[in-house]
Amino acid sequence: MKTVYLGMRGDIIHPGIINIIKEAEKHGEVLVGLLTDKAIAAHKRLPFLTYEQRKSVIEQIKGVSRVVPQEDWSYVPNLRRYKPDAIIHGDNWKSGTLQKERENVFAVMKELGGEVIEIPYTAGVDSAVLHEARRAIGTTPDVRLKTLRRLIELKPITRILEAHSGLSGLIIENLEIQAEEGTRSFDGIWSSSLTDSTSKGKPDIEAVDLTTRLQDLTNILECTTKPIIFDGDTGGKTEHFVFTVRTLERNGVSAVIIEDKTGLKKNSLFGTAVTQELCPIPEFCEKISAGKRAQVTKDFMIIARLESLIAGFPVQDALSRAAAYVEAGADGVMIHSKEKSGADIKEFCATFRAGHPHVAIILVPTTYNQFTERELSDWGANIVIYANHLLRASYPAMLRAASSILEHSRSLEADSICMPIKEILELIPEGV
C-alpha cells in the first residue's frame, strides 16, 4: 500500500480538510503530519487546541491512517524522514508565501522518487479566513489565561507590548508584519501602572486604585484575545493581594508582577537618586506564598520583580532575593535596571539561569534598548516587555495635531497627520 503525506495545522476542521483526506485516500494510506504547537508558534498565532487535542480529533477522521508530529513549518524534514510515495496539497500554494515551499517539496519528492499531488483548493473555504473568524469570536478567560505558559514553553522569547486602552490593545491584537521567519506579531499585552496612570493624568505612585485599574483592563479584555500580564505594583498588603490574584484569574489574566519595594511606590525609572526602600525578604516571600495559595488555577503566574539594581544594590542582592522568592513560590522573576549598558542584567541572567534552569526570566529593556530580542533570549530571557511605547508614541502625535490647530486657527493642516475619519470608522465596525 502506498503512503500519502498530508501536512496540516488541524485547529479548525473544515470541509476543505475532509475533501483533501478523501482525495488522498484514493492514492494510498493517509499519513497526516500534524504541525506541533512549537512549529506553529514560530510562524503564526498559537493554535486554540493543543497538539494532543488536535491529534485526538484528526485521528478519528475517516480515511486517516496515522498522525505524526511535524516539528518544522516546512514539510521537507518529515518527507525525508517518512519517505512517503506522495504528498498531497491544495493548489493554493502556487502563489503567495508557500511558493518557495512548493519548489522545495517538488525537489525533495523528485529525489525520493515520489509524487506531488495537487488538488484544486476547496472553493469557499479559506483556512486563513477561518482562523481570522475564530479570532473575531474571541476567547474564553480560561484559554487566554493558559496561553502565556504555553508561549513561554514554545517560543524562544515571548514578545509583550504595553496597552493602556482598548484602542492600543487592538494594535497589539492585530498588527502583523512579514519577517524572515514568517509572520511577526506581538504575543501579549502588558497592563502597565505607568501608562495607565499617565493616560489618566496621574503619577505612577499606586494612585490609581485597583478597582479602577481593573475597570480599564476590562476595556482591553473585551476587544482582545492575547494573554495579559498585569503590573501589580507592590501588590499592596498581603491581605489585599490575595483578592487581586483571584480577581485577575477570574478575568483570564495570565500573570501578575509585583515589585519588592516598600513605602510610597515611585516609578523605577524616576530620578537618579536612590529613592526607594526595598521590602524585607521574609515579608515579600509571605506575600508571594499567600498569592500562590489563593490562586485557583494551576496556570496563573505570580512573578517577583527585583528592584535591587534600581535601588543601588549589587547584582548579588538581586540574586539572593530571587532565590528566596522562587523558594516562596514565584513562577518567574523580572529583573529591572536603569543601567544603559545592560551589563548588570546580563550578569544577573547568567547566574540566575545556571541555578534555576526552568524559572521564567522577564526583562523590560526600556533603557538598555540597543539589544535585540534574540540577544536577550541568548542571555536567558523568556519574556521581553516593551513597557510604555504606545503611550509614549501617542503623546507627541497628539501634541503635534493640537499645535497645528492652534497655529493655523483651523484643522486643515492637521489632517495630514491624522487618521482619516473613514479609517477610524472602519477600524471598529458597528455591532462589534
308 contacts ligand SPV (rule: CB under 6 A): no
**Run of H or E residues at 258:** strand 255-259
36 binds, among Mg ion, ligand SPV, none (CB under 5 to 8 A by kind): none
Instruction: Measure the CA–CA gap between 164 and 198, rounded to whole angstroms.
Output: 9
Q: Is residue 192 within 8 Å of 217, Cβ to Cβ? A: no
383 contacts ligand SPV (rule: CB under 6 A): no
Comparing CB distances to Mg ion, the nearer of 19 and 394 is 394
Pairing status of strand 277-278 against strand 261-262: antiparallel
Residue 204 a catalytic site member: yes
205 contacts ligand SPV (rule: CB under 6 A): no
In the complex, minimum distance from the CB of residue 328 to Mg ion, in angstroms, rounded to a whole number: 21
Each residue 164-203 as x (binds ligand SPV by CB under 6 A) or -, in order, gives ----------------------------xxx---------
387 binds, among ligand SPV, Mg ion, none (CB under 5 to 8 A by kind): ligand SPV
Name which of 60, 62, 59 is nearest 32 in CA terms.
Answer: 59
Rg (CA), the chain: 25
Comparing CB distances to ligand SPV, the nearer of 75 and 368 is 368
* Residues touching ligand SPV, count (CB under 6 A): 12
**Given 387, 390, 391, 404, the residue binding ligand SPV (CB under 6 A):** 387
158 contacts ligand SPV (rule: CB under 6 A): no
311 contacts ligand SPV (rule: CB under 6 A): no
**Given 78, 168, 366, 404, the residue binding ligand SPV (CB under 6 A):** 366
**Given 216, 231, 249, 331, the residue binding ligand SPV (CB under 6 A):** 231
In the complex, minimum distance from the CB of residue 268 to ligand SPV, in angstroms, rounded to a whole number: 4
* CA–CA distances in Å: residue 388 to residues 159, 163, 203, 226, 309: 14, 8, 14, 18, 20
* Residue with nearest beta carbon to Mg ion: 193
> Segment contacting ligand SPV (CB under 6 A): 96-104, 220-228, 263-271, 416-424?
263-271
Q: Enumerate binding residues for Mg ion (CB under 5 A).
A: 193-194, 231
Q: Report how many helices (DSSP H) and strands (DSSP E) the chain contains, helices first.
A: 17, 17
| Class of residue 175 by CB neighbours under 10 A (exposed 0-12, middle 13-18, buried 19+) | exposed
Query: DSSP string spanning 15-50?
Result: HHHHHHHHHHHTTSEEEEEEEPHHHHHTTSPPPSS-
User: Which sign, positive or negative, has the C-alpha torsion 115, 120, 122, 126?
Assistant: positive
**Given 364, 376, 383, 384, the residue binding ligand SPV (CB under 6 A):** 364
Q: What share of the chain is helix, strand, coil (3-state, %, to 5)?
A: 45, 20, 35
Cell of 196: 495607565
Which residues are catalytic, by number?
Answer: 204
Applying CB under 6 A, the residues found at the interface with ligand SPV are 192-194, 204, 231, 267-269, 364, 366, 387-388
